[in-house]
Copies of this chain bind each other. A is one copy, B any other.
Amino acid sequence: MEPEHSDVTTDVAEHMPGACQAVSSILSRVGDKWTVLVVMMLADGPMRFNELKRKIGGVSQRMLTLTLRGLERDGFVSRTMFPTIPPRVDYELTPLGQSLRVPIGELGNWAFEHIGVVVEARAAFDARGIEE
């Protein structure tokens, strides 16, 4: 921990005009339904489309395509086509995608560690709502 970036707090809270939107656009990509799952799946190496689809489970072809396109557009994932028959397409994390794994991994771990408390809080909140 360098004293370089003082605290987590203020670095982002500062209202830079345009940057805020860009940061927000990255955040909402992470928050979407399948992105994190896909990134985690690709952590161990390249994977083919249907392989990815099977491993994730519950994702539609359309959504997986859209998710991968989004990740590719942002430079997190690279797409390699092999013009064989049948065709084969590999998806792989770029170095940028790899580096993204760190913060979302931390967030994932935080979520995992605090699920219990959150679920309890939700139940308590909902219970309060009923008897009023």
Contact = CB atoms under 8 A, between A and B. Distances in A.
Contact of A105 (B8, B44, B102, B104): B8
A58 B96 CA distance: 31
A23 B115 contact: yes
A75 B117 contact: yes
Interface in A87-132: 96, 99-112, 114-115, 117-122, 124-126
Copies in the complex: 2
A: interface residue count bin: 35 or more
A23 B75 contact: no
Contact of A103 (B24, B75, B110): B110
A37 B37 CA distance: 24
A9 interface: yes
A19 interface: yes
B75 A12 contact: no
B22 A41 contact: no
A11 B73 contact: no
Interface string A1-28: 0000100111111000001001110111
Interface of A: 5, 8-13, 19, 22-24, 26-33, 36-37, 40-41, 43-44, 72-75, 96, 99-112, 114-115, 117-122, 124-126
